A and B are shown apart, each in its own frame.
Chain A
């Protein structure tokens, strides 16, 4: 596709369930980023991939959160045993792996934990 694609666009889940959020980056982009944005708040960095490896996992809020990237392309963010405070928009971005290039964002997945 032409841009970063995230799925699902909306997800409602019951507290305690596990969820998987998917990000398809732009073809050829080696860097991939995940963020969380709660209502009315700024972007909270979660994790960054360069290729399939994650040099920086410092933003993952707890061990219930994990992410992987396979084939240097698709990434999955998994939240186990979801809590109500996990409700937010989860945004993914991709870019070529240099500081002189722009990052492109997907439209996000709105997660609601009930």
Chain B
């Protein structure tokens, strides 16, 4: 499976936008880019995913670079509830369909 690289931690002020980066330079043409987050003392939850085009949903936006070697998860207005570890994951359409988590980015939201 292709590897992703994320910063270990980031901080944001409450009600400010947050841009969480992810590098995946070895991504293949059949890999979907998924984002999950894990709130304290909870199981991970799905945030968003995409293949080539930018995606928006009620939780966040996903901006995918034209060469697909990087992506950015955008939280438009951070709230205290958004404090979590955010994971960027590649899921291969043609492979074993595994779901491997890296170390993620710990987001701290400052009131």
Number of A interface residues at 8 Å Cβ cutoff, please give it: 24
Q: Is the CB of B49 within 8 A of A102?
A: yes
Contacting pair A93 B98 (CB below 8 A): no
Interface residues of A in 80-96 (CB under 8 A from B): 91, 93, 95
The number of residues on chain B lying at the interface, defined by a beta carbon within 8 Å of a beta carbon of chain A, is: 27
The answer, yes or no, to whether A106 is at the interface (CB within 8 Å) is yes
Chain B residue at minimal CB-CB distance from A31: B97
Which B-chain residue is minimally distant from A43 (CB atoms)? B101
Flag if A50 contacts B32 (CB, 8 Å). Answer: no
Establish whether residues B46 and A102, one from each chain, have CB atoms under 8 Å apart when the complex forms. Answer: yes
A92 vs B10: C-alpha distance in the bound complex, in angstroms? 28
Cβ contacts under 8 Å, A55 to chain B: 96
Asked whether A107 lies within 8 Å of B97 as measured between CB atoms, the reply is: no
Q: Which residues of B contact A (CB under 8 A)?
A: 30-32, 34, 36, 38, 42-46, 49, 51, 85, 87, 91-93, 96-104
